[in-house]
Structure 1
C-alpha cells in the first residue's frame, strides 16, 4: 500500500502551508527515499553528512545487510543485498550470493549451481558462468580468499538447516529443530546467535560481544544494532559511542545528553515521529 505515491508509512501533515524544507504540509511527506512506484529505495540514509550513515533496505523499508558512512556512500547501490532479500522473500533457503559490507556484489558469485565474475554494482556476469565445480577457472577466483569451497562456515550451516526443513515440509512432516545460527549476506555470522536458550549479540566471527543478551522467548525485535555500533562500527571510524544500549543490544529508544532528552530509532538516529515517551506505537 502506498499513500500519495510515497513509501508506505509516510507522515501526513495536518496544517496548511509549507515547512522549512518548502514541502507542502498536508501532503504526503515520506521519511525515506522512495522509488517512483512507491516502494522504498534500496539505499536509505540518516543523519548528517559526517556522522550519518546509509543502510540497505528491502522493498518495505526494513533494514537489511549493508551500510556505509554517509560521506562515503555516494555510489552505494545495495544491489546485492536487495536481490538476496527478494530471493529469500520468494522462499529460497539456499541463496548464496555474497555481498560486500556496503551491499554491492563481491567479484566472485555462485548461486543455484553456477559461478560467475560479477559487476559490483549490478551483479551482471562479466564472463560466461560456469558450473560451481569449475569456479577455479574464472579470472576473478582467488584461492587465498575463497578457499576450497565457495560457501563460508556460517552459511554452510544455515543452508543445510534450511534444506532439511524444506525436505521435511515436502513430505508433510514437521521439522522440530529451531535455527540457532544466523548469517549475514556476506556469509559471515550475523548480529546475534543462540546458545543454550540465550540469544547473544555477536560479531562477524560469531563471538559474543559484551554482555548483551536475552532469553530466546523474549528475543523478538532483537537486532543488536547498538551493540555492534559500540564494539565494531564506531571504533572502526575512530568514534566513540554516546548512546545507551538496552540489555538485548538494541538502542534504548529514550536517550539523554545532560538535561536534554530525545528519542532515537532502531539505528540510533533522532526520531521525532515517536511520541514523547519514546514508545513506538507499532
Structure 2
C-alpha cells in the first residue's frame, strides 16, 4: 500500500520526485509504523526520504543489490563486516584499512545521495582502482593515490594494475636487474614493455606477455604491438 501511495503522490511530479524529492512530497505521505525489522532501521530511508525503512542485512555470499534510483529506498545491504564486491556482486568479508574507511562511511552515508564507498580486497586492502564522484584514480594497497585521475566515464576498462606494481617495486627494496613496468597515464600497462635488452608486447590491463612478441631493444624504433 505504501508503495502504491508513493507512486500516486509522486506521479504528478515524477521527474522531480526521483531527482530532487521536494519536501512537499513528504507532507502528504503517511508513514507506516515499523513494528518489526529483520535488519536495521534506516532513518528517513524510505521513498524520497519521507519515512524510516527496514533494510535487510545480507550474509556473506549473498547477491548484492544494485543501486536504487535516486529517491527510491534500499531494501537490503551487506551486513556488518561485509562489502559488496562489484566484480562478483556478492557480499564479501574483509578487514583492514579499507574496511575501516568503508564502515565509517557506510554509517554516515545517506542511501539517496549515493556517496562512493571504497573498493576493498578480501584482505581489507584497497583495490588498485578507486572512484569518487566524477573521477577514478589508482591507489596503493593502503589507499594512497599513486597516479592521476581519469573521468569515470572513461575508466570502465582501467585496472590500475601497472600503477600498483610500479609503486610497490619502486618503493620496496631495490634489486639489480629488477623489472620496473612502464604505465600509461591511466595506470594501465603500456603495450610495449622492456626488461634488460628484450622488449615485448603485453596485455594492457594485467601486463601478461604476449608469446612470440619478443624483440631486441635495438628494434624498438620499428616495434609495434
- TM-score grouping bracket, smaller chain normalisation: 0.3 to 0.5
Which structure has the bigger radius of gyration? Answer: 2
- Kindly indicate which of the two structures has a greater share of residues assigned to helix: 2
TM-score using structure 2 length? 0.46
